[in-house]
Amino acid sequence: MNDVFTLHRGTAPLLVSLPHDGSAIPDAIAARMTGSARHAPDTDWHVSRLYGFARELGASVLVPRWSRYVVDLNRPPDDASLYPGQNTTGLCPVVQFSGEPVYRDGQEPDADEIAARVERYWRPYHAALEEELARLRAAHGRVVLWEGHSIRGELPFLFDGRLPDLNLGTAGGASCEPALQGRLERVLEGQRHYDYVINGRFKGGYITRHYGQPARGVSAVQLEISQRIYMDEATFAYDEARAAGAQAVIRALLEAALAV
C-alpha cells in the first residue's frame, strides 16, 4: 500500500499538486528534532481542504503524506538553490522558516540519509506526478499543472515586509503559455478582495520550473497564498469564512486555467 501520497485521478486536463500539504514525520526522525520543529510549523496548512472543490472541476489532485522536513518535494534532488543569494530552505531542511534549527545539535541528516530519503519519499511523488501528467496530456493533448502552496504572510528570515495575499509564479513566463498567464492575470485584476503579485518573491519552485514545458503541451503555474486569507496563522486553525472568499478566487483561477 502506498504511504507516500494520495492521488485522485480526474478527467480534465488539470493536475493540482500540493507538495507541502503533508505534516507527518517518522518517529525516528522526529526524535532528533527540536521541540518546535516536531510540530511541522512550515506546513502548507489545510491546502488540500482549501482545494477540495477542484475535484468538482474534474481535476486530478496529488497530495503527500509526509512533511517537507522529511524531504522537500519542491526542491531539486541535487539541492541546487532555487533563489541564489536569498535565504531559503533545502531538500532536507535543517532550518525552519523562522531561522530556528530543525534538528538538535549534531542530529542533522548526512549525505547518505538524504539520498535515502530522496529514494523513499521524493522519487515516488515525482513518478506519480510525471505519470499523471503524461496520462492527461495523452487524453487531451495538453495539461495544466497547478502548484498549490501557502505560507505565513510575514517571515523576516525569507522575505522583507508583508507578502501579498496571492503570489502567482510562472518562472518569469517560461513555465506556461502566454495566453494562460494572460487569463490568470485578468482574473486577479478583476477581483478586489486581495492584493497580488506575479513572478515576485515566489516565481515557482522546482516542480513548476522542471515540469512546465509549454512547447510540449504542459503548462505549470504556482500559486503561493498568504495563510492569513484562509486560516489563523497563530493557531493554524482553518477559518471557514475567510476560506470561502479565498476559494472563490482560486476557483476562478482554475476555471481560467481550464479555458481554451
Under the banding of pLDDT at 50, 70 and 90, the label for residue 87 is low
Which H or E element spans position 197? strand 196-198
- Whether the predicted pLDDT of 79 surpasses 90: no
Into how many domains does the chain fold?
A: 1
Give residue 80's pLDDT band: very low, low, confident or very high (50, 70, 90).
confident
Calculate the average pLDDT of the chain.
Answer: 95
How confident is the model over 59-85, as a mean pLDDT? 90
pLDDT reported for residue 2: 84
pLDDT of 65 strictly over 90: yes
pLDDT for 203 beyond 60: yes
pLDDT: is 91 or 158 the higher one? 91
Q: What is the per-residue pLDDT for 1? A: 52
Range of the domain at 73: 5-258
pLDDT of residue 159: 87
User: In sequence order, what are the beta bridge partners of 14?
Assistant: 144
| 119-153 residue pLDDT tens | 999 999 999 999 999 999 999 999 999 999 999 99
Residue 144 CA to residue 220 CA, distance in Å, equals 6
Q: Residue 56 pLDDT more than 90?
A: yes
> Which residues contact residue 25 at a Cβ distance below 8 angstroms, ignoring those fewer than 6 apart?
33, 38, 40, 66, 67, 69, 70
C-alpha cell read off for 74: 519542491
Stretch 104-122: mean pLDDT, rounded?
97
Q: What is the pLDDT of residue 86?
A: 67
Indicate the angle between helix axes 178-190 and 240-258, nearest 10 degrees.
150
Percent of the residues in the chain that have a pLDDT greater than 70, as a whole number: 97
| CATH number of 56's domain | 3.40.630.40
**SS3 of residue 79 by DSSP:** coil
How does residue 89 score in pLDDT terms, banded at 50, 70 and 90?
confident
Average pLDDT over residues 41-65: 98
Which of the four pLDDT bands, split at 50, 70 and 90, describes residue 157?
confident
Alpha helix stretches (DSSP H) within the chain: 27-30, 47-50, 111-117, 123-140, 178-190, 206-211, 240-258
